[in-house]
């Protein structure tokens, strides 16, 4: 039993306190050990990714491929109000409560048995913020008596999980300088670990660790070479080597926002964070690899020191970004058991690395087409196709260049899942390209500017979205499910031989994990762009997902907008289970 | 991050949802309400910025003058610039911001350009009031201001990050000056670096340079007289935007601006900030 009192206290002290100090009950809750054990504890969902390694796998099998067709809603709960935009959150489930974050930096606590709202917290947002890609939030983190989430004005807010009252509220970056925050925080060893997001130039990606009880900064690690990191207020070494892969002073504003957060591997004691695209956009003005943009970084959680890096798109000129989650897993390669990690990148390749040292093992194409590179060589460098690079603004006026994947990526923010049973990764991907051209008439902040025009285009007649099952050992795609509209939600896989994901058309769907056969679907009333979870409660297995269309696709969809033009806004938590026989 | 993507073509259509709150008012409604809500850019010296809790600058003064001549009070609101002016027109004039920014009746500092206006058909762009262009200024004597840019190797060249001046200095002449460019968040900050002796020359808008030199007092920094070789931006006209269905207001504002130009009032307004007023090409 996960008794909150017994876990927090021990020995004689526990007995004394349990008798004398009832208020302590409210102070207890998930511990560091609970968070690290989340992948195995089936009665709750304590972390973003259902475990620090973010496998999004549950061994639960009461709902399985033979009975999922009977699954029905248990309840739905509306996020209400007029703020019905993209709902990209993953629910957290603990002690009879479901915690979800909503668009416009809101956090809700719902009764996990009835769906009734317990409390709601609305962040007061300044109107001067300019989020690039809709007003989304991807989820909260739970620890002890706290539920913690990031807000669009780049703050981290810790609330009492029972009352919704603020415990601490810290600025993590300055929204006036273009910073924002949308990712779910990661909690490791009593520290809240966050990345940052920002669409404006001048933004430099960083990973920060804060004391979970106070919000005070412990370490700060900028991800662009030349910037100084800190540990407990003192300098802690420069990231990389100054001007090694950047010209002039462009490293000072080099981009690399770590906007999707990270994963943690207790086995190697490493944090893994992906970094965003370099700035400025025009790659011709910043020759070099531009480290550590578009990379995965392995970071020591105690000090914030970078242990290794692997760059997936050197000298990114397509906004492929490199933020996608890096998922630790173990497998036997060429007869040798290895500690590995996998990342399905925006650039269309599925990377497998040795997670102890970042060594390249393989890169496998998981989308229909990559115009920027033709595979990767043995050293982990892309075989770049030079004519696939967008031209410098001012050159070659008018003629568009076609690039695939589009800047929204072969896979965007939406997390994949890894099944312990099938050994397969389930990747929510999209097959689309873009035309890019130099826009002769462009203006920014009232002044003439060299801009580029973009339009996203379909590359297949029958789909944009594709859920793909990837064998990480062979690079083979074992099955795929094609979807008309782009896929934009996370994936869950279970011991019941099931894979769940949502569609913009409004369905939550269940597939056979081995064959990809669609077994069940339910219309939630708006597009599903959140990540589903599952847990066991009162002897029954539940599945939950957020519904609410939005995110970057409707903002940037271009020609593919016709695939989702009839989808309405929404904002609801849906919870499902099998009917009682 | 999608930091610089212009909303063009199909993407724009997806955003062309029905306008939400409020809505800009035509002339009669503005007069009845007694208030003209004017949108200016935040942090856009010398045009509009905040100082001592007040919004000041050329555009702020112009907003006050226009409201006074209409016989109403000016409610000047600062807009954070988005990725392109097309986006700013959506946020500032015809729809409002995603986080609740209320659209204005009038937005200043909008490029007056036929192709640009054609693709922004939710607004009417009126009253061109200034001709802007880029210029180079530097410490006379310290460097060959009138020389070939390639002679400036090793000098500290200030420019706004990711601007046309930045692209020119970094990208032209085979990138020979790329390592010499020092980047600043705004053109005004780049000018201030030169007047403070932290850089040798700056390429920025003429208004930013003239205002910066005016602030710093008489110094050794002067403007280059000759054109820059292979510099492609010929300058642009600046006007104002009203909502497409507020043309009565647009017409009244255009009359006011025309009269201010003719009477010398516009020139005097600009002179207070050290900027030599130049009539827009389109102001005919």
The CATH number assigned to the domain holding A573 equals 2.140.10.10
DSSP character string of B237-254: EEEEEEETT-HHHHHHHH
CATH number of B134-223: 3.40.190.10
pLDDT at A165 over 50: yes
> Average of pLDDT values for B34-39?
97
Do A68 and A96 reside in the same domain of the chain? yes
Place of tokens 């020979």: B176
Give the C-alpha separation, B140 to B158, whole Å: 15
B97 is written with which tokens? 């911001």
What pLDDT does residue A563 have?
Answer: 87
Give the C-alpha separation, A237 to A159, whole Å: 34
CA angle A239, A241, A245 (to 5 degrees): 110
What pLDDT does residue B23 have?
Answer: 47
The full set of domain ranges for chain B reads: 26-132+236-272, 134-223
pLDDT at B9 over 50: no
Q: Tell which wins on pLDDT, A341 or A18.
A: A341
Contact B113 A248 (CB under 8 A): no
pLDDT cut 70: percent of chain A above it: 94
Contact A130 B100 (CB under 8 A): no
Give the C-alpha separation, A88 to A69, whole Å: 25
H or E stretch including A145? none
pLDDT at A325 over 60: yes
Contact A555 B15 (CB under 8 A): yes
pLDDT at A101 over 50: yes
Do A257 and A211 reside in the same domain of the chain? yes
> Taking CA atoms, what residue in B is nearest to A406?
B2
The candidate with the shortest Cα–Cα distance to A526, out of A105, A149, A79, A139, is A79
Give the C-alpha separation, A443 to B201, whole Å: 24
CB A221 within 8 A of CB A206: yes
pTM of the shown model: 0.91
What pLDDT does residue A66 have?
Answer: 98
pLDDT at A242 over 90: yes
Coil vs helix vs strand at B266: helix
Task: Give the distance, in angstroms, between the CA of residue A297 and the centroid of all CA atoms in the same chain.
Answer: 15
Residues 6+ apart with CB under 8 A from B192: B212, B215, B216
pLDDT, one tens digit per residue, over A384-413 is: 999 888 887 766 555 788 999 999 999 999
Lowest pLDDT segment from A423-427, B12-16, B31-35: B12-16
Residues 6+ apart with CB under 8 A from A46: A30, A34, A35, A38, A92, A94, A142
pLDDT at B5 over 60: no
Interface check for A444 against chain B (CB to CB < 8 A): the answer is yes
What pLDDT does residue A284 have?
Answer: 83
Alpha carbon of B198: minimum distance to chain A alpha carbons (Å): 14
Q: Domain range holding A4?
A: 1-30
pLDDT at A27 over 80: no
CB A483 within 8 A of CB A32: no
What pLDDT does residue A398 have?
Answer: 58
Give the C-alpha separation, B259 to B65, whole Å: 12
The candidate with the shortest Cα–Cα distance to A356, out of A425, A307, A301, A322, is A307
Give chain A's domain count: 2
Helix B187-195 × helix B206-216 angle, to 10°: 40
> Looking at residue A567, what DSSP letter applies?
P
> Average of pLDDT values for B236-262?
97
The neighbour count for residue B15, using CB atoms within 10 Å, is 16
Do A159 and A46 reside in the same domain of the chain? yes
Which residues in chain A touch residue B189, judged by CB atoms under 8 angstroms apart?
A: none
Contact B84 A253 (CB under 8 A): no
Active site annotation includes A319: yes
What pLDDT does residue B6 have?
Answer: 35
CB A40 within 8 A of CB A474: no
Do A5 and A109 reside in the same domain of the chain? no
Give the C-alpha separation, A51 to A49, whole Å: 5
The candidate with the shortest Cα–Cα distance to B27, out of B180, B284, B253, B277, is B253
The candidate with the shortest Cα–Cα distance to A500, out of A90, A34, A38, is A90
Q: Are strands B157-160 and B201-205 parallel, antiparallel or unpaired?
A: parallel
What pLDDT does residue A331 have?
Answer: 97
Do A21 and A122 reside in the same domain of the chain? no
pLDDT, one tens digit per residue, over A286-301 is: 889 999 999 999 999 9
The candidate with the shortest Cα–Cα distance to A364, out of A373, A294, A356, is A373
pLDDT at A51 over 70: yes
> Looking at residue A283, what DSSP letter applies?
G
pLDDT cut 90: percent of chain A above it: 80
Which residues in chain A touch residue B14, judged by CB atoms under 8 angstroms apart?
A: 554-555, 557, 561, 565
Do A98 and A234 reside in the same domain of the chain? yes
> Average of pLDDT values for B69-96?
95
Q: Tell which wins on pLDDT, B204 or A1.
A: B204
Lowest pLDDT segment from A14-28, A197-211, A364-378: A14-28
CB A467 within 8 A of CB A499: yes
What pLDDT does residue B284 have?
Answer: 63
CB A506 within 8 A of CB A524: yes
Lowest pLDDT segment from A26-30, A49-53, B233-237: A26-30
Lowest pLDDT segment from A141-155, A543-557, B179-193: A543-557
pLDDT, one tens digit per residue, over A330-353 is: 999 989 999 999 999 999 999 999
pLDDT at B10 over 60: no
> Average of pLDDT values for A548-577?
89
Contact A445 B41 (CB under 8 A): yes
**pLDDT band per the 50, 70, 90 thresholds, residue A15:** very low
What pLDDT does residue A4 have?
Answer: 41
Task: Give the distance, in angstroms, between the CA of residue B128 and the centroid of all CA atoms in the same chain.
Answer: 12
CA angle B181, B184, B189 (to 5 degrees): 120
**pLDDT band per the 50, 70, 90 thresholds, residue A285:** confident
Coil vs helix vs strand at B76: strand
Backbone CA torsion sign across B63, B65, B69, B75: positive
| Topology, domain B26-132+236-272 | D-Maltodextrin-Binding Protein; domain 2 (3.40.190)
Interface check for A276 against chain B (CB to CB < 8 A): the answer is yes
pLDDT at A488 over 60: yes
Give the C-alpha separation, A256 to B203, whole Å: 27
Coil vs helix vs strand at B175: helix
**pLDDT band per the 50, 70, 90 thresholds, residue B283:** confident
Do A107 and A24 reside in the same domain of the chain? no
Do A71 and A131 reside in the same domain of the chain? yes
pLDDT at A226 over 70: yes
Do A25 and A36 reside in the same domain of the chain? no
What pLDDT does residue A95 have?
Answer: 96
Give the C-alpha separation, B186 to B283, whole Å: 28
CA angle B18, A527, A106 (to 5 degrees): 80
Do A8 and A143 reside in the same domain of the chain? no
Coil vs helix vs strand at A373: strand
DSSP character string of B112-155: E-HHHHHH-TTEEEEEEEEEE-EEEEEEBTTB-TTS-GGGGTTS
Residues 6+ apart with CB under 8 A from B99: A104, A125, A126, A127, A129, A131, A135, A152
Mean pLDDT for all residues in chain A: 92
> Average of pLDDT values for A412-417?
98
Contact A280 B161 (CB under 8 A): yes
> Average of pLDDT values for A493-502?
98
Q: What are phi and psi of B259, to 5 degrees?
A: -65, -40
Cβ within 8 Å of A, B 58-77: none
Write the secondary structure of A122-133 as one string of H (helix), E (strand) and C (coil).
Answer: ECCCCCCCCCCC
> Average of pLDDT values for A172-188?
93
Q: Tell which wins on pLDDT, A299 or B22.
A: A299
Cβ within 8 Å of A, B 245-274: none
Give the C-alpha separation, A393 to A387, whole Å: 15
A552 is written with which tokens? 């970057």
What pLDDT does residue A246 have?
Answer: 95
Task: Give the distance, in angstroms, between the CA of residue B182 and the centroid of all CA atoms in the same chain.
Answer: 22
pLDDT, one tens digit per residue, over B126-181 is: 999 999 999 999 998 778 999 999 999 999 999 999 899 999 999 889 889 999 99
Place of tokens 């317990």: A118
ipTM given for this complex: 0.89
What pLDDT does residue A283 have?
Answer: 86
Do A19 and A39 reside in the same domain of the chain? no
Binding site listing of A for pyrroloquinoline quinone: 88, 138, 182, 412-413
Coil vs helix vs strand at A177: helix
Do A79 and A15 reside in the same domain of the chain? no
What pLDDT does residue B210 have?
Answer: 97
């Amino acid at each position: 039993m996960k008794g909150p009192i017994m876990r927090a206290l021990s020995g004689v002290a526990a007995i004394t306190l349990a008798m004398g100090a009832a208020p302590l009950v409210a102070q207890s809750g998930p511990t560091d050990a609970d968070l690290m054990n989340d992948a195995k504890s089936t009665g709750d969902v304590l972390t973003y990714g259902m475990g620090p390694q973010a496998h999004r796998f549950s061994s639960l099998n009461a709902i399985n491929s033979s009975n999922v067709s009977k699954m029905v809603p248990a309840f739905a709960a509306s996020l209400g109000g007029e703020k019905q935009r993209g709902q990209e959150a993953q629910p957290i489930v603990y002690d009879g409560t479901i915690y979800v974050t909503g668009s416009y930096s809101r956090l809700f606590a719902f009764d996990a048995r009835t769906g009734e709202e317990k409390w709601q917290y609305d962040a007061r947002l300044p109107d001067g913020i300019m989020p690039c890609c809709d007003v989304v939030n991807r989820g909260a983190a739970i620890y002890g008596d706290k539920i913690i989430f990031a807000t669009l004005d780049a703050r981290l807010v810790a609330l009492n999980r029972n009352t919704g009252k603020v415990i601490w509220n810290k600025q993590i970056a300055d929204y006036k300088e273009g910073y924002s925050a949308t990712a779910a925080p990661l909690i490791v060893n009593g520290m809240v670990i966050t990345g940052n997001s920002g669409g404006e130039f001048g933004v430099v990606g960083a990973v920060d660790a804060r004391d979970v009880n106070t919000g005070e900064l412990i370490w700060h690690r900028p991800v662009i070479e030349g910037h100084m990191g800190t540990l407990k207020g003192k300098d802690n070494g420069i990231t990389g080597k100054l001007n090694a892969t950047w010209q002039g002073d462009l490293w000072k504003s080099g981009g690399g926002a770590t906007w999707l957060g990270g994963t943690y591997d207790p086995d190697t004691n490493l944090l893994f964070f992906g970094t965003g695209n370099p700035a400025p956009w025009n790659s011709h003005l910043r020759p070099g690899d531009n480290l550590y943009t578009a990379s995965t970084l392995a970071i020591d959680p105690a000090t914030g020191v970078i242990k290794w890096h692997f760059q997936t798109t050197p000298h990114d000129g397509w906004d492929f970004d490199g933020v996608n989650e890096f998922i630790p897993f173990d497998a036997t390669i060429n007869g040798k058991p290895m500690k590995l990690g996998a990342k399905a990148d925006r650039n269309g390749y599925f990377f497998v690395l040795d997670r102890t040292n970042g060594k390249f093992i393989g890169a496998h194409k998981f989308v229909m087409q990559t115009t920027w590179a033709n595979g990767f060589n043995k050293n982990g460098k892309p075989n770049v196709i030079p004519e696939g690079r967008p031209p410098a603004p001012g050159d070659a006026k008018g003629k568009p260049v076609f690039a695939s994947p589009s800047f929204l990526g072969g896979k965007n923010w939406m997390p994949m899942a890894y099944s312990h049973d099938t050994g397969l990764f389930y990747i929510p991907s999209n097959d689309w390209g873009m035309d890019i051209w130099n826009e002769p008439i462009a203006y920014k902040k009232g002044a003439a500017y060299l801009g580029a025009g973009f339009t996203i285009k379909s590359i297949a007649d029958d789909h944009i979205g594709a859920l793909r099952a990837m064998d990480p050992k062979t690079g083979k795609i074992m099955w795929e499910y094609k979807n008309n509209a782009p896929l934009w939600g996370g994936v869950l896989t279970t011991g019941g031989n099931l894979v769940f994901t949502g569609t913009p058309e409004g369905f939550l769907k269940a597939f056979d994990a081995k064959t990809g056969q669609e077994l069940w679907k339910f219309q939630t009333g708006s597009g599903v762009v959140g990540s589903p979870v599952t847990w066991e409660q009162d002897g029954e297995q539940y599945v939950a997902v957020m519904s609410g269309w939005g995110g970057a696709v409707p903002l940037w969809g271009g020609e593919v907008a016709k695939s989702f033009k009839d989808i309405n806004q929404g904002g609801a938590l849906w919870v499902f289970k099998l009917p009682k026989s | 991050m999608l930091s610089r993507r212009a909303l063009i073509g199909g993407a724009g259509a997806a955003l062309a949802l029905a306008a939400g709150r409020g809505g800009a008012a035509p002339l009669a409604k503005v007069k009845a309400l007694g208030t003209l809500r004017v949108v200016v850019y935040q942090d856009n010296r010398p045009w509009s910025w905040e100082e001592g809790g007040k919004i000041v600058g050329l555009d702020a003064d112009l907003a006050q003058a226009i409201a006074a001549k209409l016989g109403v009070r000016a409610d000047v609101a600062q807009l954070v610039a988005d990725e392109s002016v097309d986006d700013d027109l959506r946020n500032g004039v015809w729809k409002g911001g995603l986080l609740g920014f209320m659209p204005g009746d009038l937005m200043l500092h909008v490029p007056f350009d036929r192709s640009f206006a054609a693709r922004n058909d939710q607004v009417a762009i009126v009253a061109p009031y200034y001709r802007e262009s880029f210029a180079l200024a530097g410490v006379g004597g310290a460097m060959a201001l009138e020389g070939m840019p390639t002679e400036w190797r090793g000098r500290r060249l200030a420019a706004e990050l990711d601007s046309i001046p930045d692209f020119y200095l970094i990208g032209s002449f085979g990138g020979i000056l790329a390592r010499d460019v020092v980047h600043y968040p705004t053109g005004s900050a780049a000018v201030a670096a030169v007047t403070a002796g932290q850089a040798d020359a700056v390429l920025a808008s003429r208004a930013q340079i003239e205002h910066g030199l005016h602030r710093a007092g008489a110094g050794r920094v002067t403007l280059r007289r000759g054109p820059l070789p292979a510099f492609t931006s010929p300058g642009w006209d600046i006007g104002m935007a009203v909502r497409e269905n507020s043309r009565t207001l647009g017409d009244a504002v255009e009359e006011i601006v025309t009269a201010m130009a003719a009477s010398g009032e516009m020139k005097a307004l600009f002179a207070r900030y050290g900027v030599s007023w130049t009539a827009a090409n389109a102001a005919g």
